[in-house]
Amino acid sequence: MQYIQGEKPPGCIFCDDGDRASDRERLLLLRADHAIVMLNRYPYAAGHLMVAPSVHQGELSELAVDIRSELMQLIADSSRILKTVYRYEGLNIGANLGASAGAGFAEHLHFHLVPRWLGDVNFMTSIAETRVIPEHLDRIYDELQPRFEELSRR
């Protein structure tokens, strides 16, 4: 409700402002050469990540090959980290390309990684349109950030 009723901040959540001090506030876990990994502030499940190119582009086909390659590598690395930390039973990976497809930030392509467990979707999400996350975002960030920091050193 905070997001729905609140004033939306200007700009794009995926575009880099260069201020590394705000990474935690932005829930940014990793800055790679051409892409970023961040937690979703309004997740469907604990560990819900987003992987986005650093360049402000909404079309996958318009990205350079090296950027697309890094996106796929980060998606693979992120899924491995999520599997290690959350021991998910399944993983949804997807991108909503364009506003008509449900993209909240249609101008900036991004992929969602949503860990899944048997029985995790119940009436709360499907009928009540409410998301229930059993873990606080700060704790999730603290749990995942060292693993992404280690990844950035490779």
The domain spans of the chain are: 21-117+133-152
The question of whether 48 is a catalytic residue gets the answer: no
Give the relative orientation of helices 65-86 and 137-152 as an angle to the nearest 10 degrees: 130
Mention the CATH class of domain 21-117+133-152: alpha beta
Identify whether the C-beta of residue 81 lies closer than 8 Å to the C-beta of residue 29. Answer: no
User: pLDDT tens for residues 25-47?
Assistant: 999 999 999 999 999 988 888 89
Identified catalytic residue from 56, 110, 112, 136: 110
pTM across the whole model: 0.84
Question: Helical H runs in the chain?
Answer: 2-5, 23-26, 65-86, 123-126, 137-152
Instruction: Give the span between the Cα atoms of 130 and 135, in whole angstroms.
Output: 15
Give me the pLDDT at residue 125, please: 55
Widest CA span of the chain, in angstroms?
44
* Residues 50-105: tens digit of each pLDDT: 999 999 999 999 999 999 999 999 999 999 999 999 999 999 999 988 888 877 78
